[in-house]
Amino acid sequence: MGFFQKIKEGLTKTRNSMVKSFEGMLNSFTKIDEELFEELEEILIMSDVGVHTAGKICERLRVRVKETGTTDPSEVKGLLKEIITEMMEGGEELDLSTKPSIILVIGVNGVGKTTTIGKMAAELRRRGKKVLLGAADTFRAAAIDQLGIWAERAGCEMVHHAEGSDPAAVVFDSITAGKARGADVVICDTAGRLHNKKHLMDELAKISRVIEREAPGSAKEVLLVLDATTGQNALNQAKQFKEAAGLTGIVLTKLDGTARGGVVIAVKEELGVPIKYIGVGEKIDDLQPFVARDFVEALFDGNEPLRDETEAEE
């Protein structure tokens, strides 16, 4: 299955909910008026785009309609696609400009964090990168074993200590091993417990200090994994982590299992943090690098891909 087809199928529930409602609404109007904008805003809010982002989309749409002189409701869909694409574009590419580059992956338990790391490692391996994994989630039972299984599937080496070890020490050893073994990318798992938020955030700060000390000048990504099925709750989690962890990107998982895919739009707009990957299935190659234009095209139409397979792999 091709790149575009995976995204298209993964967004089926959101498309059937949000876009079908939107298209049905447009078909009921013969002119573009304030009632149309109000109904559109309501549909966006119901699709977990959020009140703030839905309002901003509609405001920009009003301006675009006026600028273009659009009077036919059937043309609103094209304008809406342009606006959402513009809002979501920028910063999608991982910064892998140094050797090694460091990726710190954070998120609460249950969002698919460890699975995401395995899939990300596999995707980077397909790009020809040598990847090393660091099992720094030492608090959760079986987290190390789970990451080890994914390391094997992805064809990566892994650094780990015993359960209950100091996570920062694991990160230290992972960076040291990455340098010694010529790794292009070192990806470190972290604990995801929020019941003691201060302890968790202190631990993340300690890990960040180790990275800065042991890999000065290295490209560093701090990626937060969010479960798209939780809708606006995912956005609230992201706001908490952004305050403490200096996020550089978001990974949204389980988009194939929800009609709340509109939260993707809200995350970028309200946090100002780019989306790096989206998860659209259970298979190892179902974590896809995020491309705003492809996402919007698949969400609204699911017709022709905007780029071919070769371009998608570059």
Q: Is 310 labeled as ligand-binding?
A: no
The larger pLDDT score, comparing residue 213 to residue 232, is at 213
Distance (Å) of CA 205 to CA 58, 106, 189, 244, 263: 39, 12, 14, 8, 28
Quick check: 101 pLDDT over 60? yes
Quick check: 4 pLDDT over 70? no
pLDDT digits (tens, 9 = 90+) for 274-296: 999 998 888 888 898 999 998 88
pLDDT band at 203 (very low <50, low <70, confident <90, very high): confident
pLDDT digits (tens, 9 = 90+) for 158-186: 999 999 999 999 999 999 999 999 999 99
Q: Residues near 176 by Cβ (< 8 Å), separated by ≥ 6?
A: 214
Residues 253-282, mean pLDDT to the nearest whole number = 84
* H/E element, 102: strand 101-106
Q: Which two tokens stand for residue 184?
A: 């292009």
Quick check: 304 pLDDT over 60? no
User: What pLDDT, on the 0 to 100 scale, is given for residue 308?
Assistant: 38
Q: Is 110 labeled as ligand-binding?
A: yes
Q: Is 192 labeled as ligand-binding?
A: yes
Quick check: 102 pLDDT over 50? yes
Q: Is 76 labeled as ligand-binding?
A: no
Report the chain's mean pLDDT, rounded to a whole number: 87
* Ranges 51-60, 234-243, 259-268, most confident: 51-60
Q: Is 193 labeled as ligand-binding?
A: yes
0.75 cut: is pTM over it? yes
Q: Which two tokens stand for residue 201?
A: 């955030």
The larger pLDDT score, comparing residue 207 to residue 245, is at 207
User: What pLDDT, on the 0 to 100 scale, is given for residue 92?
Assistant: 92
| Burial (0-12, 13-18, 19+ Cβ within 10 Å), 101 | buried
User: What pLDDT, on the 0 to 100 scale, is given for residue 311?
Assistant: 40
Q: Is 296 labeled as ligand-binding?
A: no
User: What pLDDT, on the 0 to 100 scale, is given for residue 2?
Assistant: 56
Q: Assess contact for 184 and 96: CB atoms under 8 A.
A: yes
User: What pLDDT, on the 0 to 100 scale, is given for residue 196?
Assistant: 52
Q: Is 213 labeled as ligand-binding?
A: no
Cis peptide before 274 (omega within 30 of 0): no
Q: Is 111 labeled as ligand-binding?
A: yes
User: What pLDDT, on the 0 to 100 scale, is given for residue 10?
Assistant: 78
Q: Assess contact for 77 and 181: CB atoms under 8 A.
A: no
User: What pLDDT, on the 0 to 100 scale, is given for residue 195?
Assistant: 43
Q: Is 20 labeled as ligand-binding?
A: no
Quick one: what percent of the chain has pLDDT higher than 90?
A: 55
User: What pLDDT, on the 0 to 100 scale, is given for residue 220?
Assistant: 96
Q: Is 198 labeled as ligand-binding?
A: no
pLDDT digits (tens, 9 = 90+) for 120-149: 999 999 999 999 999 999 987 789 999 999
User: What pLDDT, on the 0 to 100 scale, is given for residue 197?
Assistant: 67
What is the 8-class DSSP label of residue 256?
Answer: G
Q: Is 254 labeled as ligand-binding?
A: yes
Q: Is 2 labeled as ligand-binding?
A: no
* Residue 211 to residue 233: CA distance in whole angstroms: 30
Q: Is 114 labeled as ligand-binding?
A: yes
User: What pLDDT, on the 0 to 100 scale, is given for residue 309?
Assistant: 37
Quick one: what percent of the chain has pLDDT higher than 70?
A: 92
